[in-house]
């Protein structure tokens, strides 16, 4: 039996300026990290008492958690920034 080819295929995504998109993702991650810090994530808990080391490296953990949020879809800020910057760049 011969397989039937699909009628319509998904359109390929337009080429992206990867450097610009990565910069937009980093900006979204920084924004999310600040929101997480405001929510209390990364603050030293009194029960474990990690000391100065935990205080110094806690921001790295929050930043990486924010970046993972962005890689998982984020809140759409990176996509909006990228589209706006591409429109501005094409408008010149």
Q: Within a 13 Å sphere around the CA of 83, how many CA atoms are in the beta-carbon half?
A: 5
Q: What are the sequence ranges of the domains in the chain?
A: 18-38+52-90
Axis crossing angle, helix 51-71 with helix 18-38, rounded to the nearest 10: 130
For 26-61, the pLDDT digits (tens) are 999 999 999 998 888 766 666 556 666 776 778 888
What pLDDT, in 10s, does the model give residues 6-33? 665 554 565 578 889 999 999 999 999 9
Give me the DSSP letters along 16-77: --HHHHHHHHHHHHHHHHHHHHHTTTTPPPTTT--HHHHHHHHHHHHHHHHHHHHHTTTTSH
pLDDT tier at 70, thresholds 50, 70, 90: very high
């Amino acid at each position: 039996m011969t397989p039937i080819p699909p009628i319509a295929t998904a359109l390929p995504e337009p080429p992206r300026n990867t450097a610009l998109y990565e910069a937009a993702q980093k900006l979204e991650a920084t924004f999310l990290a600040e929101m997480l810090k405001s929510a209390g994530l990364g603050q030293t808990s009194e029960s474990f008492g990690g000391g100065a080391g935990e205080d110094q490296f806690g921001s790295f953990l929050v930043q990486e958690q924010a970046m993972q949020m962005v890689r998982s879809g984020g809140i759409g800020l990176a996509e909006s920034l990228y589209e706006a910057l591409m429109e501005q760049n094409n408008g010149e």
